[in-house]
Structure 1
Amino acid sequence: MEMGSLGRITSALGLWIIITLLLFGNTVESSAHGPTRSAQAEEQTYLHSTGLKIAITASIQVHSKTVFSCYTYSMKKLIMAFWEIFPRDRIPCIMAYRSDKNETWGKNCFDERITWESRPDQNLALQIDPVNIEHDGYYNCTIVTPDGNFQSVHLLNVLVPPEITLSTGGNGTTMCEASAGKPAAQLSWVPEGYCFSMNETHGNRTVTVKSICHWNGLNETKVTCSIFHLTGNKSLSIELLPHYPKQSTALYLYFCLCVLLPIGVILIWKVCLRNSGSRFIPDVKMKEEEYYVNYMKNANHKNESKNRL
């Protein structure tokens, strides 16, 4: 019994020394630009070397609240407990509680949204409120007791709903876009057209998915884009009219306005000129005839006057 107790005490002291080095040493390199590839490699090495197994995987939507529980144990026998937080895009953080002094402290923990859910001497659960995309990562709780050390490991996957837009570019072409979603959304069309898709991954691991489809020659008037995502599914519909079905009518009207209308104006103008010319000539002839008649009347009147004399 004495040897067993001594072994447990030695194990607890050894873990205490490790925790002290982690908290007050220089084992973590910080950077103004966030974690480097070496930091991410150290995270993977740590998980592998300690043999941690993820007990709970939580998929939480951004801007919501989540709570991670620690290993259940009698608080009267607790020596200490600490949370190791490994966000994917930030430096690791350690939050610790020491029961004999009833005190807490932290290392590289600057996010006010990550806190103890309540008093650590009553509940060792960790709370994130609200969850943001940079909280994606591993959360490991370790408690040190006279009976040994116990761990609870959580993997947090932060879900981001995509912003959905549906637009038409005319000529039977339509684009459906699910932007900045995590994970990437899945898109489908009803009815099916001639489609191609493209994905763009952003620095915060969100993904924008675009699907562009053509329905030329398929005589469709309405199409529907369906978006499938872990945060919820959605469908949007759009009318292709008047872009594609009335394309031939629009071309015909354009031809009439640009070609036939000028020709018609020219023909009408020529007809008007002809009509105005035909009315002008008879008027001149009538004036000449009236002048001749009046002249002959005057001449006859003069001859009659001479003969009387």
Structure 2
Amino acid sequence: MKAGANMEIAGKAVCVFLLLAIIKLRRSEGINRVSANLGHNTVMTCPTRTNISMVTWKINPKTGHQCTLAYRIDKDSTGKTNCSDRINWRSRPDWDQALEIQQVGKADEGNYTCEVVNADGNFHRLYHLTVIVAPRMALYCDDYGNPVCEAETEKSAAEISWVPESNSTPRADSHDNGTVTVVSWFAARSTNGKNPTCIVSHATLNETKSINCSSSYRDLILCIAIILSFLIIITFMAVIYYLKLHGCRFCHRSKPPDIIPTYSSQDDTVEVEPYTTYVQKENVIYNSVSDLTLRQNLPQGQSPAT
């Protein structure tokens, strides 16, 4: 009896073990691995079933709290818990139960489970989301004609080197989306006639680019000089036209008529009166002298005839 009981217990244990193994195997086989580029949108769908009474999305990110979206058909109501505005139904959940994530970030990585309930039972679909950060390299000339190299990658930061060797120290900036941007300015005394070459080294990116900023900088200076010369010429012509236009106006203005002085009889009288007075005085003086001389020449006792 005891041996039979032990055999029965052992058989049950084996059945439970096999059942758990099968469930685990089926669950692992049911994981759908999806990937999305950083900053892009991604969509995940639910199992296709009819006569659905309830749909639930359960989201377990690597960092942060669990997020839940639910919809009940009988009450035509939706619920949302701890989910950002970027995570929502793609459309109306009564006829499209797909989940959409807008502008995917590194924090969205994790497991996403859709559970559909109908009269036949509960049906699940599991997703594992991986966010891919596409590395980016940029090489350009700044406003002063100096080569600048940028590399945006996932942590850790990329390494930037120059040929010929640069004396500048790269600057690294970390972002909330889990990426790092490294910026390096080319600074060398001489390039030996060769274009500066930027070399980016990273686990996800190995790229080399060359650039010639001297010619582009000269082209910019030449373009500015041409524009300034054109503006100076236009201004000079405008000034000449203005002076010519207003100068002709001054030339065509009529001269004022000559003013002929007028004399009045009163003025003549004023001018004659001083001369008349002078003559009268001269006559008086002459008469006085004549009388005196005549008296001196007459004998005593006689007076000059009047």
Normalised-by-shorter TM-score class: 0.3 to 0.5
TM-score, length-scaled by structure 2: 0.44
